[in-house]
Every structure is written in C-alpha cells, then in structure tokens.
C-alpha cells in the first residue's frame, strides 16, 4: 500500500499507536482534511476499506498533484450531495476514523485499530452492544438493519472477531460466520444519512453521440419510482406531486462543466401510468473525463436520491475505421414530431428507461449510431447488423435479427423494438454486432435489461 510517511508534524499520532492499550483513550488530535497528510498506517488502513482494487492500484502509482486530483474525484464519487460544496460522506468517514483511532487502538499489529475499529468505520455505531461481565472480555455488536452481528474477544492487543455465541447457548454456524465476515469485508463504507432523511431510489443513464466538430451531444436521463415519490407527497391542487431534479458534471480537476436544476410537477394519472417519473437533460461536452451525478429531492418530504458514475468521452478521429455509439435501451423509439422531448436523434424521439427494467407487457426499444463507415467504389457504404440476446446465467444465445444495409453517409443509425412477450422474465444482455462490409471491420455494442 502506498501512502506518505509520518512527518514530524504528526509524530504525536504515530507515538499514540505505541503507547495506548486496549480500552477507552483520550481524544486523539484531529486528523487533517488532506488525506495524503494522514499518518501512513491510518491512511492505508482506512482508505483500503473504501477503495476498489482498481482504485487502490491506480492511486498507488500516483504522486504529487496527480494524487491530489485522484483523491478529489475519489471523494466526489461518494458525495451524497454532489451538487453542493459539502461532502457529508467524507465528514462522516473522518469522524469514524478519528473515533476508531481513539477508542479501539492497538500496539503491535499493522492496523492502527482492532477489528471493532474496522467494523465501526464500515457501518458506524451498532444498533446494540452487549459486553461481558465475566473474566473473559468480549463484546457483541448488532446491526439489525444489515442483518449482521459480530462477537469480539481478546485482550490488550485488541479484540478480534470470533463465531457468535448467544447467552442461550446457541452458536453461530461456521458457514454463517464466514459468510458474515465475507459480507463485511466485501462491503465498502456505509453512509448513514441524517436522522429523518429517507432514501429515494434513482436511476441514471448517459448517452454521448459524436458531433462533426469533435465534441459530443450528451443526453442524460434519470428516473425514480412513482411509488416512492408519491408517498406523502401528493398535492391536492394539482392532483400530483413535485420534486427538484439536478444534474451536475465535474471534469478531472473538479471543475463544474455542467449544472442544471429543475422543479418538476408530475400529475397523478401520467405518473401512475408510467410507473417512473423521468427527467431528461442534454448538453454539449468536449472529450475528457467526467463525474456525472443526478440528485432528486422531494419538495414535500425528506426523501432524497443520488445516482452518479464516471465517464470518459474519448477524443475521436473521423478518419479511423468503424465505430459505434452506446446502445440505448428505451421505453420507445418513435417518429419525432412537434413538441417532442429533448432526446431527438435523426428524426427519432427516444424515451429512455434508465432503470433498464421492463414488465412483460412492455416492449423493449433500442437505438444506436454507426460512425466511420467506408464508402465503396460506387460511393455507398454497406454494412451488416446482427442483434442477439444472451440470458444471464445459463441459456443459449438467441439471434433476433440480421440484415444488410446501405448508407450514402459515413454516419448512420439503427433502431428497433422487441415486442411485448418476446422474452420471458429474467435478465438479458442485448448484443448488436455491426460489420462494415467494405472495410471488413466488426464492432460490438452491448446493453443489459431486465424483464419482470
């Protein structure tokens, strides 16, 4: 693991690990906000609880300004309110690390805290703690909402997790013990929202399409279930509900490249018919790395939802051979008309489904664009498209359709529909294989969806 060595400024904290034994301790000095200035042991053992293997490997190769920039994006990805300057996740994480360092320190282990500290940083304060009144010291921690419970036992060198023993004599089975440990270690750090704040399930999709000037037309769709928005949120005067939807995009230097906030009013009849409340945005972005987040807030309840992801918009050269856009999974792709929504491409209005979840009575529509076809001698581009469906898990690949096409332009598009009842309930991957018949080049685009 990489991390800065302890500087003279933090010799007091480093010495703390060598001096404190098991049990409550005096408050340690407040850790600095810049995590690269944390003592190496504290930084390494706390960061590894959050970071994926890929993030840890990437961070390990960085130095100086590149490392600081990486950490800025690392925390922004986990910000529960990315459209505001405050990062509640980071604040909560710092408080937990500070508490674990103070309350659960150890002297002779690589970790700066025992296993209680690790569990505390991951999940926060337990719902209940039971400790022993006997000679052998132990603690039992209960997380009822996560269906997890841990038993810690040990002495001055720190408490370790052992199989769980109930007062009644019941014993946690070894398979269940190892299963709970595996679930705990696979879990990141759980953010606990402020008391009273309710979670709103938000889905998010981003679809970039190439422009002739080297930039991208970017369409973003975000949706939330009506059943969640409608709880205690119906307005009698409009027979519906309303919410605030925001979109924000940061570049790799955390500069805000795109920000939009909209108040939306949804009628009961329209919302209940669709099952999802859908909001769409569009903008133009130049190639680069972006963190994109959508944030929804009920106007009349404490419900909040955030969805975010990273996206590279790669520079492209129109002279290179065949390339494809992302494959859009949609509720409908239909002829555009006056008053159509903001997602219109090549005369088609696209109604995306960011959740990628459909009922069996719904059709599944899709859309994608084809770039850089090579003209033949007669000036026409010729290409072949094959659509296939792969069920998740066991199941054979199913070819839905294959056909040859011609285009007078090097860039074109394809759209289609799976009628209701085409597929049974399950999770699927839709594959679109496109072959430039002139250049003999093949590219594949994939998208997943679920039928309930």
DSSP one-letter code for 32 = P
How many whole angstroms separate alpha carbon 449 and alpha carbon 423?
11
- Indicate the range of 141-155, 256-270, 433-447 predicted with least confidence: 256-270
Tell me the CATH number for domain 322-452.
2.60.40.3880
Residue 86 pLDDT > 80 = yes
How many whole angstroms separate alpha carbon 78 and alpha carbon 80?
6
Question: CB–CB of 295/305 below 8 Å?
Answer: yes
**Up-side HSE of residue 265: CA atoms within 13 Å toward CB?**
6
Compute the CA torsion angle 129, 133, 134, 137 (nearest 10 deg).
Answer: 40
Q: How is residue 199 written in tokens? A: 């979670």
Strand 328-335 and strand 158-162: pairing?
Answer: unpaired
Burial 75-94 (b: 16+ CB within 10 A, else e): ebbbbbbbbeeebbbbebbb
pLDDT, tens only, 350-395: 999 999 999 999 999 999 999 999 999 999 999 999 999 999 876 7
- Longest CA–CA span in the chain (Å) reads 91
Per-residue confidence (pLDDT) for residue 277, from 0 to 100: 84
User: In angstroms, what CA-CA distances link 409 with 174, 326, 369, 382?
Assistant: 64, 19, 12, 10
CB atoms within 10 A of CB 223: 27
In 137-231, the DSSP E strands lie at 138-143, 148-155, 158-162, 198-199, 203-210, 216-225
Question: CB–CB of 386/405 below 8 Å?
Answer: no
Q: Which of 124, 117, 163, 159 is nearest to 144 (CA)?
A: 124
3-state secondary structure of 127: coil
Tell me the CATH number for domain 202-316.
2.60.40.10
pLDDT, tens only, 338-348: 877 779 999 99
Residue ranges of domains in the chain: 8-186, 202-316, 322-452
Per-residue confidence (pLDDT) for residue 432, from 0 to 100: 96
Per-residue confidence (pLDDT) for residue 205, from 0 to 100: 94
**Up-side HSE of residue 143: CA atoms within 13 Å toward CB?**
19
Per-residue confidence (pLDDT) for residue 443, from 0 to 100: 96
Residue 228's pLDDT band (cuts 50, 70, 90): confident
Domain 202-316 and domain 322-452, same fold? Reply is yes
**Up-side HSE of residue 41: CA atoms within 13 Å toward CB?**
21
Q: How is residue 405 written in tokens? A: 């096409």
In 275-380, the DSSP E strands lie at 276-285, 288-298, 303-313, 323-324, 328-335, 344-345, 348-352, 357-358, 364-371
Phi, psi of 317 (to 5 degrees): -120, 120
Residue 134's pLDDT band (cuts 50, 70, 90): low
pLDDT, tens only, 290-312: 999 999 988 777 888 999 988 99
Query: How remote is the C-alpha of 9 from its chain's centroid?
Result: 36
How many whole angstroms separate alpha carbon 107 and alpha carbon 42?
13
pLDDT, tens only, 31-64: 665 555 777 778 888 888 988 888 888 888 888 8
Residues 6 or more apart whose CB falls under 8 angstroms from that of 168 comprise none
Residue 87 pLDDT > 60 = yes
Q: What's the pTM value of the predicted model, to 2 decimals?
A: 0.78
Question: CB–CB of 385/432 below 8 Å?
Answer: yes
pLDDT, tens only, 157-216: 788 898 887 666 667 888 888 988 888 888 889 998 887 788 889 999 999 999 999 999
How many whole angstroms separate alpha carbon 164 and alpha carbon 174?
9
């Amino acid at each position: 693991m990489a991390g800065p060595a302890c500087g003279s400024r933090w010799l007091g904290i480093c010495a703390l690990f060598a001096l404190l034994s098991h049990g409550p301790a005096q408050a340690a000095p407040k850790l600095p906000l810049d995590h690269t200035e944390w003592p190496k042991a504290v930084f390494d053992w706390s960061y590894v609880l959050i970071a994926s293997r890929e993030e840890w490997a990437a961070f390990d190769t960085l130095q100086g300004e590149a490392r600081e920039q990486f950490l800025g994006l690392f925390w922004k990805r986990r910000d529960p309110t990315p459209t505001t300057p405050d990062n509640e996740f980071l604040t909560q994480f710092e408080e937990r690390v500070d508490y674990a360092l103070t309350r659960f320190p150890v002297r002779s282990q690589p970790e700066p805290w025992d296993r209680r500290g690790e569990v505390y940083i991951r999940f926060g304060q337990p719902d209940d703690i039971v400790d022993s009144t006997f000679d052998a010291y132990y603690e039992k921690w209960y997380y009822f909402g996560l269906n997890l419970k841990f038993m810690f036992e040990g002495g001055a060198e720190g408490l370790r997790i052992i199989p769980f023993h109930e007062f009644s004599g019941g014993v946690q089975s070894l398979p269940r013990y190892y299963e709970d440990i595996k679930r705990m270690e696979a879990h990141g750090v759980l953010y606990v929202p402020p008391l009273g704040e309710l979670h709103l399930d938000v889905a998010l999709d981003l679809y970039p399409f190439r422009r002739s000037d080297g930039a991208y037309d970017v369409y973003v769709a975000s949706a939330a279930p009506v059943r969640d928005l409608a709880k205690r949120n119906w307005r009698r005067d409009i027979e519906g509900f309303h919410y605030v939807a925001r979109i924000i995009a940061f570049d790799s230097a955390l500069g805000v490249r795109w920000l939009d906030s909209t108040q939306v009013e949804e009628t009961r009849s329209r919302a209940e018919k669709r099952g999802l409340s859908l909001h769409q945005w569009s903008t133009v972005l130049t190639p680069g790395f972006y963190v994109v987040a959508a944030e929804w807030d009920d106007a009349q309840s404490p419900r909040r939802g955030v969805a975010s992801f990273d996206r590279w918009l790669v520079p492209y050269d129109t002279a290179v051979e065949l390339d494809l856009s992302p494959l859009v999974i949609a509720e409908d792709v239909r002829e555009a008309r006056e008053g159509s929504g903001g997602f219109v491409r090549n005369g088609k209005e696209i109604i995306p489904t960011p959740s990628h979840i459909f009922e069996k009575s719904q059709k599944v529509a899709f859309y994608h664009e084809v770039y850089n076809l090579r003209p033949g001698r007669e000036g026409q581009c010729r290409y072949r498209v094959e659509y296939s469906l792969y069920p998740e898990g066991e199941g054979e690949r199913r070819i839905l359709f294959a056909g040859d096409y011609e285009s007078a332009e090097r860039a074109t598009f394809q759209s289609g529909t799976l009628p209701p009842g085409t597929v049974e309930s399950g999770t699927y991957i839709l594959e679109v294989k496109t072959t430039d018949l002139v250049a003999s080049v093949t590219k594949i685009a994939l998208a997943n969806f679920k039928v309930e």
